[in-house]
Amino acid sequence: MLRRGKRILAAKAKVELGKRYTLKEATEMVVAMAGVKFDETVDAAVRLGVNPAHADQMVRGSVVLPNGLGKTVRVLVFAKGDKEKEALEAGADLVGNDEVIEKIKGGWLEFDRVIATPDMMGSVGKIAKILGPRGLMPNPKVGTVTFEVANAVKELKAGKVEFRVEKAGIVHSPVGKVSFGAEKLSGNVSALLETIIKLKPASSKGIYIKSIALSSTMGAGVRIDPLEIKNV
């Protein structure tokens, strides 16, 4: 614990207190500060000027990161008939129906994302209490309830991430791995921020993006200047 504490303190010492960096500077710093043996995930935290308690200020969506997430995504699809074949041909790891639903009820959760065709949602609803708390429940708002299963599978495999503003008004999302390097991470962060900006609620007044911070799994947070993002 002492070694970890010293490393974190050393990383934080490299970040100037109160300073907001450009996106390029921030990604370069996050990569430079990584010092553990595994490939750390890089996360973005975006604080928005919205009140999620109001339904008309809920920010929720998805984005396909141009450089992916750097990990294998296991996709489960609930479909039948021709859509079952379509999903498998697109790269789905498993296509299921009632048999898989019973398996999930028994505790099986060896998948990362779930897609369902609309006609299967009645059955999938039986395991909503299992999938929902884990963020796995298919939702039409983020494109995981659809008859376009091939496209949905390919997007998830390519690095599509879903995000939703939390009670504190913050959106948390992974944006890649330290091994990506600063340029690819910058591209992913830009894509995420562009999508969040497009989803700005009409009822949101004043400053929309209040702050942005990047950090790796074991690293210190680096703040980005929101005004600089407009020029990226």
pLDDT by 10s per residue, the chain, length 232: 445 555 555 555 667 777 899 999 999 999 998 877 888 999 999 999 999 999 999 999 999 999 999 888 999 999 999 999 999 999 999 998 889 999 999 999 999 999 999 999 999 999 999 999 998 999 998 899 999 999 999 999 998 998 999 999 999 999 999 999 999 999 999 999 999 999 999 998 889 999 999 999 888 899 999 887 765 5
Domain boundary among 141, 157, 173: 157
- How many structural domains does the chain have? 2
Report the alpha-carbon distance of residue 63 to residue 15 in Å, rounded. Answer: 29
For tokens 């680096």, what's the residue? 222
Q: In this structure, what token pair is assigned to residue 22?
A: 């450009």
Residue 119 lies in a domain: yes
The structure's pTM equals: 0.80
Q: How far is CA 48 from CA 57, 64, 164, 176, in A?
A: 10, 21, 11, 21
Which residue range forms the structural domain that includes residue 83? 75-157
